[in-house]
Structures are given as C-alpha cells and as structure tokens.
Structure 1
Amino acid sequence: MSRRATIPNIVVRRLYPSDQEEILSHFRRLDGPSRRARFCGAIKDEGVIRYVANIFSDSSILCGAFIDGHLRGVVELRGVSHFWASTAEAAFTVEAGWQNAGMGDALFDHIIAIARNRRVARIQMSCLKENLPMQHLAMKHNATLEYDCDIVEAVLRPNRPSPSSVAKEIIGEFERFGQIARRYAATHSSAAN
C-alpha cells in the first residue's frame, strides 16, 4: 500500500456491539507508534483488550472505515447521548499501512456529520505534540489547536444539522446492511459447496 495514494472505495459506517470482535482485531493490529498516538502512551495487548471490552457505553458512538470488508480505521465520539450533547470527545485510529491515504479524512467527515445531527456544539480531541498528521487533519477540518507541554488539544465547532449531514449518516447505515448481506451470502454460498 503506497502511503501517498488515496484509497479508493473506503466504506465508513457506524459500528455496533456486534462489531466488537472486528474492533478488537483492529486495535490489536495497531503498531507501537499508532497505539502510542491513540492512547497518548504505550499500551499492551491486555490493556487493549480491557479498553475494547468497554468501548461501547451509553454515551459513545463509533464509526469504522472498511477496505474490502476489513476494518482498518476507527473513530470514537464520546460524551454523546442520543441527541443534543454540548461537548463530545473524538479519538481516531488508523492502521499503519493505511495512514496518510484519506482514511482519516473519511472518518473525520463521517463523525462530524454524526455530531452535527446530534447538535454537538463542541468536539474536543487530544493528541501528542509529535502527532503532526492528527494535528494537520484537525486543522484541515477547521479546528483550533492549543499546545500544552506534550499534549495538543484540538477543538471543533460543528455546524447545525443539514440534509447532507443526515444523508451521510443514513448512507452509512445502508453500507452496514450491505456488508451484512455480503457476509451472509458468502457464508451460505461456501456452506452450500
């Protein structure tokens, strides 16, 4: 995978507890620098397993970026009840071989649409000072950055919901049903043979 090429056919959709196994596999595939960037420090497999076991809470929404049906990136939006949360926190992961090719942008666009549709007034993100790609991505989406020692805080203020933000979320749900149908067809066609 060329790091400079844009990935065609990125499918971004909301993730659900039924996706938990894929989410765990994704987090376990993260290399050391990617884990450090996501968690602002080193974390072993045991810590990843504990984290993913509790990744779904009443106040979190997750979306995943899929390439050829495989989960390669995740964005978490925490602090969101179903609608009208004033502030939420976002965190991103993209596997090393898929970074710098548009996946972060796709995840960012999708989670901003979801935040807009829930009237989130402010999205906060934290990253390490050396995580320049994340800072660049945040600025590209009009975030303001504040530097504090080794941590950078990014703040975005999403617009109100629009027909296009609602459509983006609905299309993501249709993608989920499409993936389920393809898995079902593949499972049943291989079982029939």
Structure 2
Amino acid sequence: MESHIIHLLPAKGVIRQLRPSDLPRFRAHLLRLDAQSRRDRFNGLTSDEFIVCYADRSFAQGTAVIGYVEDDEVLGAAELHERAEEAEPTAEIAFSVEHHLQHRGIGGKLFERLIAQARGLGYTRLRVTTHAQNAAMRALARRFSATLSFEDGEAVGTIDLEPLRPVFERAAGRAQGRV
C-alpha cells in the first residue's frame, strides 16, 4: 500500500536541456533503466557497454537531449536525433523514464518540451520507432498526433510539425488581430 502512495506523488524535478557536462548523469540514467524500460527504449536487449557508447555518441553527434532532473540526477530523457538523409528536416525521437517514475506525466512533459525544441531547430517532421508491445510509447505518440503503422514487428510513427512562420508574418498577423 505504501509504495502505491509513493507512486502517486507528483514528480518534483525539472525538465531542462541537458548540457555536455550532463553526459555522466545521462549515461547513469540509461544504465539504471530496468530490463523492460531498456527494451522499450532501445527496441530490444542492450548491454551496459552498448549504453555507454550510445550515450557518448549522442552527445558527440549533437543530439538534443532534454532531461527530467531531480536532486541532480537525470531520471528521464527525451532525445532528438537528426535524420539528415531525409528530404525535409526530420528527427528521430526517443524517450526513457525510470520505472519508479513512470505514469506520472513526465513522458508527456518531456514530449511537449521536445516538440518545442524540434520546432525551434526548424524540424518539420518527427519519427518515432518502438516495438509493437510498447503501449505506453504508442499512446504517448498518438497523444501528440503521430500516425502509427506497423513495419517488421515495430510501430513506426510520424508527427508532422507546423513550420514556424516568419517573424514579420507573425507580427503582421498580430497587428490585424490574428495570431
């Protein structure tokens, strides 16, 4: 009973862009993921060595990483990996929240912040890939208007973002009572 009460307490951390100096905290977060959370995040089994290399590579390759940080620990993360080979500005997105904090709305808050970050970077499309059994990720993606399909045993989704309007166009719209 007591653990159920703790599970329902609101999260007390902050969601923020992770800095290069946060790499050790991001790596530690990924290493702490339980087996199911690792499988959900990476679409399969992963070793600690893979995760260490993955975290290092993410920061070295300019991945935008937004973290849920509590008591100076990264306990959740949302990642934006550019897909430069795509015709229009596209990024692959990924999420992880440590098991004891799941189902508290952290994933949704990370998703909101990630979409704002993606728009700020000029992306017009986001892609999400997860295994077909990851119901939480599929539901989260649908909540943010992802169209999902199943390919080779995976759920693949696309979120089309409205392109940012030019500054002067927005200013003219406000002057005429439009936003």
CA distance in 1, matches of 2:115, 2:82: 14
CA 1:117 to 1:67, structure 2 compared with 1: closer, same or farther past 3 Å? same
Per the normalisation by structure 1, the TM-score is 0.75
Instruction: Give how far 1:47 is off.
Output: 1.3
CA distance in 2, matches of 1:128, 1:8: 27
The structure showing larger relative contact order (alpha-carbon pairs under 8 Å, at least 6 residues apart) is: 1
CA distance in 2, matches of 1:65, 1:7: 13
Structure 1 counterpart of 2:163: 160
Per the normalisation by structure 2, the TM-score is 0.81
Instruction: Give how far 1:5 is off.
Output: 2.7
CA distance in 2, matches of 1:132, 1:37: 9
Residue aligned with 2:58, SS = coil
Deviations 1:127-172 (A, max 9, x none): 000000000000011111011242000111122348xxxxxxxxxx
Structure 1's consecutive aligned runs of 4 or more residues displaced over 2 angstroms after TM superposition are 1-10, 67-70, 159-162
- Report if aligned partners of 2:11, 2:101 keep a CA contact under 8 Å in 1: no
- Report if aligned partners of 1:73, 1:92 keep a CA contact under 8 Å in 2: yes
CA distance in 2, matches of 1:148, 1:58: 27
CA distance in 2, matches of 1:11, 1:105: 13
Structure 1 counterpart of 2:175: none
Structure 2 counterpart of 1:26: 29
Instruction: Give how far 1:30 is off.
Output: 0.3
2:129 to 113, 126, 131: 126
Structure 1 counterpart of 2:82: 79
Instruction: Give how far 1:42 is off.
Output: 0.4
Structure 2 counterpart of 1:148: 151
Select the structure of larger CA radius of gyration: 2
Structure 2 counterpart of 1:88: 91
Structure 2 counterparts to residues 1-193 of structure 1, below 5 A: 2=4, 5=8, 7-79=10-82, 86-161=89-164
Structure 2: segments with no counterpart, 5+ residues: 166-179
Deviations 1:36-86 (A, max 9, x none): 1111110111111111121214442111011333211011101178xxx71
CA distance in 2, matches of 1:50, 1:89: 18
Structure 1 counterpart of 2:168: none
Structure 1 counterpart of 2:176: none
CA distance in 2, matches of 1:79, 1:59: 9
CA 1:8 to 1:31, structure 2 compared with 1: closer, same or farther past 3 Å? closer
Identity %: 31
CA distance in 2, matches of 1:10, 1:142: 26
Structure 1: segments with no counterpart, 5+ residues: 163-193
Report how many residues are paired. 159
